[in-house]
Structure 1
Amino acid sequence: MFRKAGWRGIQWELGRRVTGFNDYARWVREHDTLTPAARTRLAERVASLPERPLISVLMPSYNPNPAWLREAIESVREQIYPNWELCIADDASPSQEVRAILKSYADSDPRIKVAFRPKNGHISAASNSALELVTGSWIALMDHDDLLPADALFWVADCIASHPDVRLIYSDEDKIDEALIRSGPYFKCDWNPDLFRSQNMFSHLGVLSTDLVRAVGGFRLGLEGSQDWDLVIRCMERIEPGQVRHIPRVLYHWRVHAESTAKSMDAKPYAVVAGERALNEHFERTQTRASAEHIGFGYRVRYALPDTPPLVSLVIPTRNAAASLRRCVESIIAKTTYPHYEIIVVDNASDDSASQVCLESVAKMRNVQVMRHTQKLGTAELRNEAVSAAAGEVIALVDDSIEVISPEWLSEMVSLALQPGVGAVGARLMDRRRILTHAGIILGLGVDGVAGRSHRGMPAGREGYGGRAALIQSLSAVASECLVVRKDRYLEVGGFDGNHLKEAFADVDFCLRLGEAGLRTLWTPYAELLDHKPAARERKGGEPASSPYMEDVAYMKRRWGSLLQNDPAYSPNLMLAREDFSYAWPPRVPPA
């Protein structure tokens, strides 16, 4: 931790822990322990399901710890939902004890089927052998030493009943050690294909339509270590995003031991190579000009720019900020490697002499033009007017407090903005101490319940919760301090709303309207910039807020309603009162 983020990283982590909000053992006791009464209620709900599909738990096995194997099998047998089968393929385990355990279970329970492979073929081959045993309409993937909580398959069946068009289902997960102590929960967001291409957020618990698995040819040999991810990638290519569903409950306990990837990908380096291959072959099949490489805690995807990159218009509003404006423009010109851009400085009636001198100076710089206003306007109006006049096919909104530090920032953001279905793209912003000021916007955070900033205050050297501060992903909104969007999409949704939003949340509203139009908002950590703007002091509960600000809050709640409390890029198991992804007390998930 110290090597990556220094003392500030340690302080950040201590801050998350000393509050008590991230005491997972207590969270489990209070919010994720299945009581006898809850078991009874779920058993009664099973009877009311409109249909009870057979769920086939698919388990490849090779020489597991015998005690852990028994625990894994017993966790399936203890399921509240009764309509399951367990399909195990043993990959020629040398342990006679393992073989005896499997034979004993198969002989004593007709729901358990076991295939003994004559020779070892590794996990993909073993998984395909288990697939041959499957007779259910759904397949749940499970390792031979992991555990399912007793309600896991019930919630899967409930999801299937609630969403008849679903084809892929995944849940939250945690880790469990040899003493059965749970830790490290991953409370996931809803389906996020961009994050999925950065990490395997699907496993575990992953459940797939059997027809779909067979249609794509099952598990591929040569992808061992990432065979499940590769399978889901190929399935994803054949369905719509709305056919993937997330169950925000911990339905899988991933065993932590020395040879498990639950502890570290270093335990299985071949899995890293397989993951890169799975992604890069996905891009080839979908004719996407992109490449992926492993970066230690996930994968970086680089999207190629067109052979002739489009003109980008950088729109920089400013008022009486000579030093900031000069630093911003000079850093763009000196460091930006993107080959084709113009800079439009929009002066909002600056009236100090330093600004006048600065504006005259920057107007003489390469690719810079200055639009002057003699009367002060709102920022939204300034931006909208400049965008309409811009010659670029792509717009980059940039505040005058921004300083470029990564030369490829604009290339990165434009390459994402040009992808199909993408609206806005946001950047990773830091202050001069390299403390994050923006890693995307999460709806519902903060005292007013509208929106807050993901991982604000975290040292830049850390990956954040589940890698969420260091991987490309879809978010509901990103900040306008540095935002890239195609001009036609900006105009299609009407630009920024300066009529209803005078002080705050115009960028959030803009991104949400892009979402209404069917476009994704992306955030990338690979466009890093400094933001020299002083940190805005957050309003605390009980403090008065300015009247215009409270009008903005009221408008956002009227316009966007319950979405503000149910951000699909966040989790109901995470807290709305903090920006550090602390656990929710209680979670916003109905109890069992």
Structure 2
Amino acid sequence: MKNLAEPPLVSVIMANYNGADHLAMALRSVLAQSVGHIEILLLDDASSDDSIKVARGVADTDPRVRIFETSRNAGPGAARNRGFEMATGRWIAIVDSDDIIHPCRLERMTTAGDALETDAVADDLTYFHDASIRPAGTLMGTNRPEKPAGLSATCFVSADPNAPQLGYLKPLIRRTALSGLRYREDIKIGEDHDLYMRFLLNGGRMHLLPQSYYLYRRHNSSLSYRMHPDDVAAIISAQDDLLRDYPDLSDGMLDHMALRRAALQRPLAFETLVQEIRGRHFGRAMGQLVHRPSLLPQLVKVGKSRLARALVRPRNASAVIARDPSEWTLQDWSVMLEKTM
């Protein structure tokens, strides 16, 4: 029998904010793991729904679940950092409160991590939609390796929009290998990517397995989610900070980061345009389109896709919908963006 005085094999950190609808399933998928000596640290980030009630209902049935509440919403990075401080396991795993993991995930990944003698081990992500557990593709797709492959910091820097975005990976990391590394709490988007980059640039070793044991939920709401320009600017700023903090990067790495930065300027310009139109600042929006006419086809494409999914259309939008989006005025876009973006 396992000596329960020993540190847990894995500390699972689960940050949560208003995730009551899926929280119980996420917690139970972790509790169902084939390795029993684990701890689950549920960090609730000032939820206003029934998350705490749901979490307590699960915790009452299993003492491995520990719940920590905050009175002020501070974001997932801050919540996970609290988990890092309290974790006692040999490995640390991040599991989102709306996702599901395979019953053998922690056993197989820790075994693989030990065999590879690596500091972190990741698996592919399998996407599924809110209304169905049926898989809807994977993060790596055809880029999935045939055998465990080492990941370098360069792998995480790509300007190709069709390349897998490795910042979405959910690796298990040896707690001792973190060496005090923490999430940035001042950025809302891309905090995982920044952490992995710093981990690797600090000398950490990470391997990617060809298998997928992690089910990543895609919500209907997330499909229509738009980043604020401040979020994109923060991603760019985080990369600029990496250049400052790691001045000895190779020329190849610097080239990759320059291309990625240039690629991020386009979504920054587009999200700024969307905000200007939604705010009915048509003069500034027109100025952007004059300066960057390449944004217009993207605006038309997004408009068509949003209209196809829109369940609630604005009261005076019927005349707008009747025309092709390429013929819309900026005032028309303002009406549609108000409800569909």
Contact 1:170–1:202 (8 Å) recurs in 2: no
1:249, distance to aligned residue in structure 2 (A):
0.6
3-state SS, counterpart of residue 261 of structure 2: strand
Residue identity opposite 1:79 in structure 2: Q
Could you tell me which residue of structure 2 aligns to residue 212 of structure 1? 177
Could you tell me which residue of structure 2 aligns to residue 177 of structure 1? 129
Cα distance in structure 1, aligned partners of 2:119 and 2:58? 30
1:71 matched to 2:25: yes
Which string of whole-angstrom CA distances, capped at 9 and with x for unpartnered residues, describes residues 172-204 of structure 1? 111111221211213334325323112641532
Residue identity opposite 1:59 in structure 2: M
Which structure has greater strand proportion?
1
- Which has the larger Rg? 1
Which segment is superposed worse, 192-201 or 75-84? 192-201
Which string of whole-angstrom CA distances, capped at 9 and with x for unpartnered residues, describes residues 372-402 of structure 1? xxxxxxxxxxxxxxxxxxxxxxxxxxxxxxx
Could you tell me which residue of structure 1 aligns to residue 13 of structure 2? 58
Question: Which of 196, 201, 204 is matched with 2:156 structurally?
Answer: 196
Could you tell me which residue of structure 2 aligns to residue 277 of structure 1? 237
Cα distance in structure 1, aligned partners of 2:38 and 2:177? 19
TM-score (norm 1): 0.38
Unaligned runs of 5+ in 1: 1-46, 300-592
Cα distance in structure 1, aligned partners of 2:94 and 2:208? 15
Contact 1:57–1:84 (8 Å) recurs in 2: yes
3-state SS, counterpart of residue 86 of structure 1: strand
3-state SS, counterpart of residue 136 of structure 1: coil
Could you tell me which residue of structure 2 aligns to residue 141 of structure 1? 94
1:141, distance to aligned residue in structure 2 (A):
1.2
Could you tell me which residue of structure 1 aligns to residue 327 of structure 2? none
Cα distance in structure 2, aligned partners of 1:264 and 1:184? 19
Unaligned runs of 5+ in 2: 159-163, 268-341
Q: 1:247 to 1:271 in 2, by over 3 A?
A: farther
Contact 1:113–1:133 (8 Å) recurs in 2: no
Q: 1:284 to 1:90 in 2, by over 3 A?
A: same
Q: Post-superposition, which runs of at least 4 consecutive aligned residues in structure 1 deviate over 4 A?
A: 267-271, 296-299
| Residue-pair matches, total | 242
1:76, distance to aligned residue in structure 2 (A):
0.6
3-state SS, counterpart of residue 175 of structure 1: strand
Higher relative contact order (CA 8 A, sep 6+): 2
Cα distance in structure 2, aligned partners of 1:270 and 1:140? 29
1:112, distance to aligned residue in structure 2 (A):
0.9
Cα distance in structure 1, aligned partners of 2:266 and 2:179? 28
Which structure has greater helix proportion?
2
Cα distance in structure 1, aligned partners of 2:61 and 2:194? 34
Contact 1:172–1:247 (8 Å) recurs in 2: yes
- Match runs of 1:71-150 below 5 Å: 71-95=25-49, 97-150=50-103
Which string of whole-angstrom CA distances, capped at 9 and with x for unpartnered residues, describes residues 410-440 of structure 1? xxxxxxxxxxxxxxxxxxxxxxxxxxxxxxx
Which string of whole-angstrom CA distances, capped at 9 and with x for unpartnered residues, describes residues 90-115 of structure 1? 011011x2111112223331111110
Could you tell me which residue of structure 2 aligns to residue 10 of structure 1? none
**RMSD over aligned Cα, in angstroms?**
2.8
Contact 1:213–1:231 (8 Å) recurs in 2: no
Contact 1:52–1:157 (8 Å) recurs in 2: no
Cα distance in structure 2, aligned partners of 1:298 and 1:57? 36
3-state SS, counterpart of residue 33 of structure 2: coil
Residue identity opposite 1:160 in structure 2: G
Q: 1:273 to 1:168 in 2, by over 3 A?
A: farther
Q: 1:270 to 1:141 in 2, by over 3 A?
A: farther
Contact 1:272–1:294 (8 Å) recurs in 2: no
Cα distance in structure 1, aligned partners of 2:184 and 2:15? 14
TM-score (norm 2): 0.64
1:297, distance to aligned residue in structure 2 (A):
12
Q: 1:298 to 1:157 in 2, by over 3 A?
A: farther
1:212, distance to aligned residue in structure 2 (A):
3.0
Which string of whole-angstrom CA distances, capped at 9 and with x for unpartnered residues, describes residues 428-455 of structure 1? xxxxxxxxxxxxxxxxxxxxxxxxxxxx
- Match runs of 1:351-366 below 5 Å: none
Cα distance in structure 2, aligned partners of 1:72 and 1:181? 16
1:229, distance to aligned residue in structure 2 (A):
1.3
Q: 1:58 to 1:273 in 2, by over 3 A?
A: farther
1:158, distance to aligned residue in structure 2 (A):
1.1
Cα distance in structure 2, aligned partners of 1:266 and 1:117? 27
Could you tell me which residue of structure 1 aligns to residue 288 of structure 2? none
Cα distance in structure 2, aligned partners of 1:272 and 1:207? 27
Could you tell me which residue of structure 2 aligns to residue 580 of structure 1? none
State the identity %: 23
1:293, distance to aligned residue in structure 2 (A):
2.1
Contact 2:236–2:264 (8 Å) recurs in 1: no
